[in-house]
């Protein structure tokens, strides 16, 4: 078993780095190759080992940001990922996002993990955080509303795709 660094914890979750451990790689592959998950993501080619290395290097460069495993404290099951990063191609906007395995949907893990990432970002001095949601992804839009995010409407600024953009200010 490869040791994983804990990034932050919530009441029910341990948010930690993904590792090169076969169990992590298998779970990550299961998540990121499911049509139920990938239909809401920009097109990409998935390589679990490459993702682990890339995400770890990104986090090492600036500890505020990363894409981390969301592990359920009670069961040890990795529910999915939470990401917190500057939006690629943006003007410094920082996004929070979540990608959970369908077996972990409906338990509030996305909201809980995202709230922890946002709180961590605000504690580091960020003034606002954004989320991008593909049109029709009502479950993720609901997470944004539970986080208290304000809808900003549709945009095509990022990833060459239309998305719904949300914002949460530290003062909110």
- Report the greatest alpha carbon distance in the chain: 44
Q: Which domain holds residue 26?
A: 6-169
Is 88 part of a structural domain of the chain?
yes
- 77 CB neighbour count, 10 Å cutoff: 15
Q: Which residues contact 5 (CB under 8 A, 6 or more apart)?
A: 16, 17
Q: Tens of pLDDT along the chain (172 residues)? A: 456 799 999 999 999 999 999 999 999 999 999 999 988 988 778 888 888 888 888 878 888 899 999 999 999 999 999 999 999 888 999 999 999 999 999 999 999 999 999 999 999 999 999 999 999 999 999 999 999 999 999 999 988 889 999 999 998 7
What tokens were used for 71?
């592990």
CATH number of the structural domain spanning residue 57: 3.40.630.30
Is 145 part of a structural domain of the chain?
yes
Is 1 part of a structural domain of the chain?
no
Is 134 part of a structural domain of the chain?
yes
Tell me how many domains the chain contains: 1
- 89 CB neighbour count, 10 Å cutoff: 10
Q: What is the pTM of this model?
A: 0.93
């Amino acid at each position: 078993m490869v040791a994983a660094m804990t990034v932050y914890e919530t009441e029910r979750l341990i948010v930690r780095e993904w590792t090169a451990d076969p169990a992590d790689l298998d779970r990550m592959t299961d998540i990121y190759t499911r049509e139920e998950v990938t239909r809401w993501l920009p097109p990409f080619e998935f390589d679990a080992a490459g993702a682990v290395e890339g995400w770890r290097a990104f986090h090492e460069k600036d500890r505020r940001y990363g894409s981390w495993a969301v592990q359920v404290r009670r069961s040890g099951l990795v529910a999915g990922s939470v990401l917190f990063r500057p939006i690629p191609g943006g003007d410094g906007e920082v996004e929070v996002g979540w990608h959970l395995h369908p077996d972990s949907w409906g338990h509030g893990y996305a909201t809980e993990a995202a709230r922890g990432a946002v709180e961590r970002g605000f504690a580091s001095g960020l003034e606002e955080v954004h989320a991008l949601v593909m049109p029709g992804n009502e479950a993720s839009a609901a997470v944004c509303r539970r986080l208290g995010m304000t809808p900003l409407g549709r945009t095509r600024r990022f990833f060459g795709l239309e998305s719904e953009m949300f914002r949460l200010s530290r003062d909110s």
